[in-house]
Amino acid sequence: HGPTRLADYRPTDYLIDTVELDVRLDETTRVVSRLRLRPNPLGRAGAPLALDGGDLKPLRAVLDNQPLDLAEVATPERLTIAEPPRRAFTLEIETELDPAANTRLEGLYRSNNTWCTQCEAEGFRRITYYLDRPDVMAVFTTRIEASKEEAPILLSNGNRVEAGEAGPGRHYAIWRDPHPKPCYLFALIGGDLDSIHDEFTTASGRKVDLGIYVEKGKKHRAYYAMQSLIHAMRWDEFVYGREYDLDVFNIVAVSDFTMGAMENKGLNIFNDKYILAVAETATDADYARIESVVAHEYFHNWTGNRITCRDWFQLCLKEGLTVYRDQEFSGDQRSRAVQRISDVRALRAAQFPEDAGPLAHNVRPDTYREINNFYTATVYEKGAEIVRMLRALIGHDAYHAGMALYFERFDGKAATIEDFLSCFAEAAKRDLASFAQWYAQAGTPRLHVKGVHDAKAQTYTLTLRQETPPTPGQTTKKPLPMPIRIGLIGRDGAEIPMVQDEPWSAREAKFGVFELPGAERAIVFKNVPTPPVASVNRRFSAAVILEMDLSEDDLLLMMAHDSDPFNKWQAAQSLATRLMIRSTAAIRAGEMPEFSEKFAEALGRALEGYEGDPAFAAQMAALPSENDLARDIGCDVDPEAIFLARKALRDGIGRRLGQRLVTVYDKLHSDAAYSPDAASAGRRALRSACLDLYAAGNHADGADIALTQFQRATNMTDKMGALTVLSRLPTPTREKALDFFFRAHCQEPLITDKWFSLQATIPEPDTLARVKRLTKIHAFNIATPNRVYALIGAFANGNPLCFNAASGEGYRFVADLALEIDRVNPQVAARVLSAFRSWRNLEVERRAQAEQALKNVSDAPKLSPDLRDIVQRALA
């Protein structure tokens, strides 16, 4: 079928007011759905009714007590009624499902024997025929019946209104969700699960029962998620004035789940890796992810559920906004600066390459063939940056006034980006038409900045100029209004007060956030006697690529003195990037890589001066990744030269700083019991970063320290930190430690995943053979998304040296696996193949190899629409 276009949107011809589902869970599950329908006053009168189906097996259909002839009205993909009544009517449909055979993990399926659902984006049509689109909102009542022994726990959306016996060995529960919702927010659970419970009283006094359900034996690992949920509920009341609106909020963690988690109304369903954590199984990074994903899904209750999307083109309306909200929440729980740095790292790692390659798309796309392929970093992370920029442009007060308007005006509705922006235009009293272009234009803008000092006039003039390179299907780009946060630093490192020359807006004068409203702007600062260093795009206020010719001395000054922690970190990254890109060129020309004593010394000082914020110092220590460098180089990319250049710098720093790193490492040692709080996590992060750099330059000593840490570790963070260091040193100790780790943890799939990822990312020629071997072991299973992400995803995205092996065997391996996975779970296959998103930037020989691997995929028979869409766009 052809693409779906935003421009073709029109309301449905029918509305669904209520849905009564009756689900009898069994080997073959029966679903009876009673829909109350009526003509939509906004639709075409007398139009046929076409309900969506996804590979369904219909048993019967009855319209107002009149049985319909299935042969006439139903196919697995559609149920059509040519001439429905011109008044309200009831349609009762029965379908039969085989959840155990559902490996796509869309619709109703079984995960480790738990019956569970995933309906976003278009999974509900795999349960029953429906108008499966988000602007059709209905009140759902769900009766679930199952064997008491197999499924003592029966959950759905809303509040439980009834429960009881249902014949020998069976029971039922009825759940009613009073809030009208689209079917993608429907959920159901049946299983034998453990649970923990807590309580939350909302600001206005509503008591809410909170529950987290997990597989048997895992409930001791759910407490951190519960605390995170309570913090998130409090935060949304405090910051956005949003209260929870049902008597129950349940979370269920399952082990087979394609995405991260799902915000079903009152019944969030999670990939278990974003719920389960105790010190012995989860790292600090896992804890931080859990906190943010639990908050993210909870925040959707208002931004996504109460106000949903009119159509899937508006996906960013809920996702970009909700990511922005969860990032701010995490910033408040932890260190704002560190949160910002890690969010920007993630944006650059995942979104920038997407925006610069064949899969580039608007934050709000104009067209799609397979909506599942648009749950992307662009929709999520760039979508969040747009909200952040909007707020920076209009200010805190107008932002919150606009949000309040949005909640008031669109509550209970399915909204669009235009609806959203209209609230801020009204609150800020400004036209946001050109700002709206951020949603309609793909590609990352480049911001060129030039500073000129006039000694005689004592002025400093900064010229800002933006341009966005063409992306597939969009050759010309308009300028986008963007907020640029600026500071000036004197040669002594002190901040220079910014005095305006021409009139600035009140916000600019007060906060130093300057607006670039069009293609170019010059800003003149007065009373600047000597040439300053301009610190531009502080806090990464605009999601752009900054091009500014700062000297090495400027960057060193910023590394030491910038009062903006983001730009302090950025200066270190920029300096390291510069060095490594030059080294990459040198290595390709058969010359020696470069080293900078000054950079190593500045880094050493930053690490030694960690007192204020060890987590920040750990960020300083983490040099740009190979993928970061490949992205910055942009074309004719040679991943092997990049690898060698980066290795040379790290080894050099490790040797140069030597014992100084060990001293910091030793000082950060703690005998205190593990606590996942941000301060303790920061100390562990810096400690690991020091060991990592030290071991890079001092293999034998580094391995000794790492082995001791590995053996003594009482928590997974220290254990993984040590094992990561060991895994990068090709010694017999490495294999022993890996074996030991596997034997200790092979019963726990989430820990085995860490072991898979670590091995998949070893940058050595033998790694592909190792990964192939690992796909054959019992602990691996291509039907479980987490296993695939941990082993294949880590190899394809986290091991550029081996994935891009000049022989092309890395590409062939990943492409072949994508084809194999496609027969099991098309969404996961499409995600795996997206690792090819930057193939056009490679040097000529690798590019040819990658293209061939993609062509093999596109020539394969019976591709899913998901995989076909990715491969066609990648090759287009």
Q: Is 564 in the site for ligand DPP (CB under 6 A)?
A: no
Q: Which residues bind Zn ion (CB under 5 A)?
A: 319, 322
The binder of 422, among ligand DPP, Zn ion, none, by C-beta within 5 to 8 A per type, is none
Nearest to ligand DPP of 63, 253 (CB atom): 253
Residue from 93, 144, 259, 726 binding ligand DPP (CB under 6 A)? 259
Residue 222 CA to residue 253 CA, distance in Å, equals 9
Region from 35-43, 260-268, 688-696, 756-764 binding ligand DPP, contact rule CB under 6 A: 260-268
The binder of 259, among ligand DPP, Zn ion, none, by C-beta within 5 to 8 A per type, is ligand DPP
Residue from 120, 385, 628, 866 binding ligand DPP (CB under 6 A)? 120
Binding string, 195-234, against ligand DPP, x = CB under 6 A?
Answer: ----------------------------------------
Give the three-class secondary structure for 806.
Answer: coil
Other CB atoms within 10 A of residue 196 CB: 17
| Residue 867 one-letter amino acid | L
| End-to-end C-alpha distance for the chain, whole angstroms | 18
Residue 74 bridge partners (DSSP): 79
Q: Are 226 and 198 in contact (CB under 8 A)?
A: yes
Select the residue whose beta carbon is closest to ligand DPP and give its number: 259
Output the smallest distance, CB 399 to Zn ion, in A.
20
The binder of 488, among ligand DPP, Zn ion, none, by C-beta within 5 to 8 A per type, is none
Residue 297 CA to residue 469 CA, distance in Å, equals 35
**Which two three-digit tokens encode residue 873?**
């766009």
Instruction: For the chain, state the CA radius of gyration.
Output: 28
Active-site positions? Answer: 297
- Residues between 501 and 540 that touch ligand DPP (CB under 6 A): none
Residue 102 CA to residue 126 CA, distance in Å, equals 10
The binder of 515, among ligand DPP, Zn ion, none, by C-beta within 5 to 8 A per type, is none
- Residues between 335 and 394 that touch ligand DPP (CB under 6 A): 375
Q: Is 106 in the site for ligand DPP (CB under 6 A)?
A: no
Nearest to ligand DPP of 313, 375 (CB atom): 375
Output the smallest distance, CB 254 to ligand DPP, in A.
13
- What Å distances lie between residue 571 and 31, 486, 557, CA to CA? 59, 14, 9
**CB neighbour list of residue 744: distance below 8 Å, 6 or more residues apart:** none
The binder of 262, among Zn ion, ligand DPP, none, by C-beta within 5 to 8 A per type, is ligand DPP
497: left (phi over 0), alpha (psi -120 to 50) or beta: beta
Region from 57-65, 246-254, 257-265, 809-817 binding ligand DPP, contact rule CB under 6 A: 257-265
**Which residue do the tokens 């076909």 mark?**
868
Output the smallest distance, CB 290 to ligand DPP, in A.
14
Region from 41-49, 258-266, 755-763, 813-821 binding ligand DPP, contact rule CB under 6 A: 258-266
Output the smallest distance, CB 11 to Zn ion, in A.
25
Q: Is 296 in the site for ligand DPP (CB under 6 A)?
A: yes
Region from 215-223, 256-264, 418-426, 476-484 binding ligand DPP, contact rule CB under 6 A: 256-264
Residue 127 CA to residue 54 CA, distance in Å, equals 8
Interface with ligand DPP: number of residues (CB under 6 A) = 10
The residue among 193, 417, 449, 433 whose CA lies nearest residue 314 is 417
The binder of 91, among ligand DPP, Zn ion, none, by C-beta within 5 to 8 A per type, is none
Output the smallest distance, CB 228 to ligand DPP, in A.
15
The residue among 396, 428, 433, 404 whose CA lies nearest residue 418 is 433
495: left (phi over 0), alpha (psi -120 to 50) or beta: beta
In the 3-class helix/strand/coil scheme, how is 339-392 assigned residue by residue? HHHHHHHHHHHHHHHHHCCCCCCCCCCCEECCHHHHCCHHHHHHHHHHHHHHHH
The residue among 800, 798, 794 whose CA lies nearest residue 817 is 794
The binder of 846, among ligand DPP, Zn ion, none, by C-beta within 5 to 8 A per type, is none
Output the smallest distance, CB 380 to Zn ion, in A.
7
Output the smallest distance, CB 360 to ligand DPP, in A.
21
Residue from 284, 297, 562, 638 binding ligand DPP (CB under 6 A)? 297
What sign does the dihedral 388-393-399-402 (CA atoms) show? negative
The binder of 568, among ligand DPP, Zn ion, none, by C-beta within 5 to 8 A per type, is none
Region from 39-47, 230-238, 259-267, 462-470 binding ligand DPP, contact rule CB under 6 A: 259-267
User: Edge-to-edge strand order for the sheet containing 14-24?
Assistant: 66-67, 57-63, 89-97, 29-39, 14-24, 138-147, 170-181, 159-165
Residue from 91, 262, 290, 690 binding ligand DPP (CB under 6 A)? 262
The binder of 286, among ligand DPP, Zn ion, none, by C-beta within 5 to 8 A per type, is none
Output the smallest distance, CB 321 to ligand DPP, in A.
11
Residue 414 bridge partners (DSSP): 308
Q: Are 370 and 866 in contact (CB under 8 A)?
A: yes
Residue from 20, 122, 263, 640 binding ligand DPP (CB under 6 A)? 263
Containing H/E element for 59?
strand 57-63
Nearest to Zn ion of 51, 379 (CB atom): 379
Backbone angles phi, psi at 625, to 5 degrees: -75, 170
Instruction: List contacts with ligand DPP (CB under 6 A).
Output: 120, 259, 261-263, 296-297, 300, 319, 375
